[in-house]
Chain A
Amino acid sequence: MDGEIYGEFYNVITGMNDNIAVAHQMWDDPIGDSFLGINDNVNMFAQAIWGLFSQNKQGYDAVKQNVDSARVDSQIASLQAELNSLG
């Protein structure tokens, strides 16, 4: 799912760049120019949202990598057992 989103964002951003190439090819007048502006606008949104999503994913991955609840539970149980054995 996350990989797909990354891929799709990539497609959108590169696709927008393709549009710029098309617009350059077709016109050298204000029409093409305006399309370039709109295209940049779409590109900007895609990149901004992609950037935020990337940050979220990085944070989430870091949490998943560093938090091991099962291990901590086991450590606590071991300490408790050690304590119980002290009478």
Chain B
Amino acid sequence: MRMRTAYSAISSLAYELRAGYRDVLSLAAQAEDSSLTMQNEVDEEESKLSSQLAKVGQVISEAESKMGVNEQKANEAYARMEQHQATLDYLLANPRTETHQDENGNSYTVVIYDDAGIAAARRGIAEESQNYQYYSGLCQEARQVRDKASSLKSNLDTLKGAVSMVRQNIENNVYEMRKYQSSCSDEAEYNMQSIVAVMDAVGAYVVSKTFKLTTGFSPSAARTYTGGSARFEGKTSASAPNSTENSIKAAFVAKKSGDGAKSETTEPAGGKKAKKFPFKYCEQRFCKNCTELDRAYVLSYADAIYTRRIKGSANVKAATGTVIASLDKVCEELFPTRQKPNARMLCAIRVRLIEVVEDGEKTTFSYDERMRLL
């Protein structure tokens, strides 16, 4: 009987581990896909930034060109203004003088300014001054545009550097993820083969027939990974006809040699372990690590399923078996708008459901009945 317990318990854990490996591999594939999508999007952003940097560069170049042109025009206007000023100064400083005689024969001198020339020079000064102001203004505005564009370019350069670094990091991480996936797959194969060896030994001792796992596994958990599973189904135990409990231990001792793991002793005094169902809800199966939300979901699903599908049935145990056999479908039908339970939650719901049925119907599922159901 103890060997049978060991067989069932190992099969339960084997399913858990296999589901864990599959989950990890499947999630790793999803994480890789999602990361590649992120990488592409970041890559696009980087390309856009490159294109924007080129455009800003053009704006800067154009602004500098306009600065140059207008500065030259302003300088030319200033030069002309200075010329007019010089003319004006000359005309004011060098008036024409004429000497005349009055009726008494006295001579007098008349200073004659070139009014037309002076007026023209003054107009010229005013006009060129305006031109100077105008072109200087244009030059100043072009400089402002250039400065703003330069500032934008500097920001975009910094941003592009950061985006480029993120893209490179994602690329490196995806490469690392692939390496981990590959290692995980190899480890899964190796470990599962070790477990199968132990299962063979135990299976031979217990049933001497086809090895078949029946506990704790939901096919929905097997999404993308199939490498390890093929080694379980249909595995025969004929290779280890004389296995004993010691051979099981020996197989695992051989497997674990060198890993340094050390278990804690939980066996009660006297050295005899009570026959305990391994997955008692919220004590072992769903330990303190699960979240309050997980617990709440499992409790509410199990209670509702019992009330709506099992309670009052003529054969409660048969009804429980029917529900458990297609639990994911039942959950979908009963709670179409609520969170779809994942494989792990489905396992917990199964275990909890049995407890609810036992409490509600004042009945007890035997150990073998539980193992068949789960």
Which residues of A are interface residues toward B (Cβ below 8 A)?
1-2, 5, 8-9, 11-12, 14-19, 21-43, 45-46, 48-50, 52-53, 55-57, 59-60, 62-64, 66-67, 69, 72-73, 75-76, 79-80, 82-83, 86-87
The interface-forming segment of B75-83, B117-125, B278-286 is: B278-286
CB distance from B53 to the nearest CB of A (A): 10
Which listed residue (A2, A28, A34, A63) contacts B45, Cβ 8 A? Answer: A63
Q: Are B278 and A26 in contact (CB under 8 A)?
A: yes
**A38 to B238 CA separation, bound complex (whole angstroms):** 26
A-B pairs, top 7 by smallest CB distance, nearest first, are: A59-B166, A34-B252, A53-B31, A60-B38, A45-B184, A21-B287, A52-B173
Cβ contacts under 8 Å, B97 to chain A: none
Q: Are A19 and B20 in contact (CB under 8 A)?
A: yes
Cβ contacts under 8 Å, B16 to chain A: 15, 18-19, 22
**A37 to B173 CA separation, bound complex (whole angstroms):** 26
Q: Are A41 and B191 in contact (CB under 8 A)?
A: yes
Query: What are 21 pairs between A and B in contact, CB < 8 Å?
Result: A12-B344, A14-B294, A15-B16, A26-B278, A30-B252, A30-B256, A35-B13, A35-B17, A36-B263, A38-B17, A49-B180, A50-B31, A56-B35, A60-B170, A63-B162, A64-B41, A67-B49, A67-B159, A69-B52, A79-B56, A86-B138
CB distance from B41 to the nearest CB of A (A): 7
CB distance from B266 to the nearest CB of A (A): 6
Assess whether B141 is interfacial by the CB under 8 Å rule: yes
CB distance from B134 to the nearest CB of A (A): 10
Q: Are B166 and A63 in contact (CB under 8 A)?
A: yes
**A33 to B266 CA separation, bound complex (whole angstroms):** 12
**A55 to B38 CA separation, bound complex (whole angstroms):** 11
CB distance from A15 to the nearest CB of B (A): 5
Which listed residue (B63, B284, B345) contacts A22, Cβ 8 A? Answer: B284
Looking at chain B's contact residues, the main secondary structure is helix
Assess whether B239 is interfacial by the CB under 8 Å rule: no
Closest residue of chain A to B249 (Cβ to Cβ) is: A30
CB distance from A78 to the nearest CB of B (A): 9
If the complex has contacts A45-B187, A49-B31, are A30 and B170 also in contact, measured as CB distance less than 8 A? no
The interface-forming segment of B144-152, B299-307, B321-329, B357-365 is: B144-152
Cβ contacts under 8 Å, A14 to chain B: 289-291, 294
Hey, what's the 0/1 contact readout for B55-75 against A, CB within 8 Å counting as 1?
Answer: 110010011001000100000
Looking at chain A's contact residues, the main secondary structure is helix
The interface-forming segment of B22-30, B98-106, B206-214 is: B22-30
Cβ contacts under 8 Å, B41 to chain A: 60, 63-64
CB distance from A74 to the nearest CB of B (A): 11
Cβ contacts under 8 Å, A45 to chain B: 24, 28, 180, 183-184, 187
**A57 to B177 CA separation, bound complex (whole angstroms):** 14
Question: Would you list which residues of chain B between 302 and 335 have a CB under 8 Å from chain A?
Answer: none
Q: Are A55 and B52 in contact (CB under 8 A)?
A: no
Cβ contacts under 8 Å, B85 to chain A: none
Closest residue of chain A to B21 (Cβ to Cβ) is: A42
Assess whether B48 is interfacial by the CB under 8 Å rule: yes
Cβ contacts under 8 Å, A42 to chain B: 17, 20-21, 24, 184
Known: A42-B21, A56-B31, A79-B149. 10 other contacts (CB 8 A): A9-B31, A19-B17, A28-B263, A28-B266, A29-B263, A34-B261, A53-B34, A56-B35, A76-B152, A79-B56
CB distance from A23 to the nearest CB of B (A): 6
Q: Are B24 and A56 in contact (CB under 8 A)?
A: no
Assess whether B198 is interfacial by the CB under 8 Å rule: yes
Assess whether B292 is interfacial by the CB under 8 Å rule: no
Closest residue of chain B to A7 (Cβ to Cβ) is: B342
Which listed residue (A19, A63, A76, A87) contacts B13, Cβ 8 A? Answer: A19
Q: Are B187 and A41 in contact (CB under 8 A)?
A: yes
Q: Are A83 and B173 in contact (CB under 8 A)?
A: no
Q: Are A73 and B256 in contact (CB under 8 A)?
A: no
Closest residue of chain B to A82 (Cβ to Cβ) is: B145
**A59 to B39 CA separation, bound complex (whole angstroms):** 10
**A31 to B250 CA separation, bound complex (whole angstroms):** 9
